[in-house]
């Protein structure tokens, strides 16, 4: 049986994001389409194995907080208590690897890991980089509200994801 660390692989797709000119131009960025349960846009890179996958959050209509990842189980489970032992090991390893990659690639002081279970009955862990100099009033769930937070569009998200992918392949 393979250990979780041996199963991790990187996979990347491409999604065309329309620009604000009404769809007259396109930007290709790596993308993993949402599942029918997980109706959120993701871009940049995909770290996945047989049990879990992770993606960078992306919205094309607004600047994106750089360093906002989502880790989810492939099997739909409502929370941590329902994980199999193998899924729990895969989640733990992925949280550690992604946290280290975020700290290394963004210079983050902290990486927050959050899980909420009210909206979607599918385990999702949010990993968010907290950058040096973030004022305390914007810590935790208010990081994206900080006016000086590192944000970007397709180019910046793709560049960060390239760095994350390179770090994870080490």
- Residue-wise pLDDT for 58-78, tens only, equals 887 789 999 999 999 989 899
pLDDT of residue 120 exceeding 90: no
The number of domains in the chain is 1
Higher-confidence residue: 92 or 49? 92
pLDDT digits (tens, 9 = 90+) for 30-54: 333 333 334 444 455 567 788 998 9
* 76 and 52 Cβ atoms separated by less than 8 Å: no
Share the mean pLDDT of the chain: 77
CATH of the domain at 85: 3.30.428.10
Token readout for 35 is 């599942």
Structure confidence at residue 111 (pLDDT) = 98
* 26 and 18 Cβ atoms separated by less than 8 Å: yes
Write the CA distances from 44 to 4, 15, 88, 160, integer angstroms. Answer: 22, 10, 25, 8
Beta strands 64-65 and 52-57 are unpaired
Q: What is the residue range of 36's domain?
A: 4-168
Structure confidence at residue 170 (pLDDT) = 61
């Amino acid at each position: 049986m393979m250990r979780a660390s041996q199963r991790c692989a990187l996979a990347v797709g491409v999604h065309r994001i329309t620009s604000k000119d009404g769809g007259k131009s396109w930007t290709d960025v790596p993308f993993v389409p949402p599942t029918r349960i997980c109706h959120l846009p993701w871009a940049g890179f995909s770290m996945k194995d047989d049990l879990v996958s992770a993606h960078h959050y992306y919205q094309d209509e607004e600047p994106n907080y750089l360093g906002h990842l989502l880790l989810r189980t492939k099997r739909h489970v409502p929370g941590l208590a329902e994980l199999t032992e193998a899924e729990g090991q895969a989640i733990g390893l992925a949280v550690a690897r992604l946290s280290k990659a975020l700290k290394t690639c963004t210079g983050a002081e902290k990486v927050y890991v959050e899980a909420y279970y009210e909206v979607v009955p599918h385990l999702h862990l949010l990993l968010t980089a907290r950058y040096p100099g973030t004022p305390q009033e914007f810590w935790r769930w208010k990081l994206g509200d900080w006016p000086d937070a590192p944000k970007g569009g397709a180019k910046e998200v793709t560049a960060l994801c390239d760095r994350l992918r390179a770090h994870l392949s080490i």
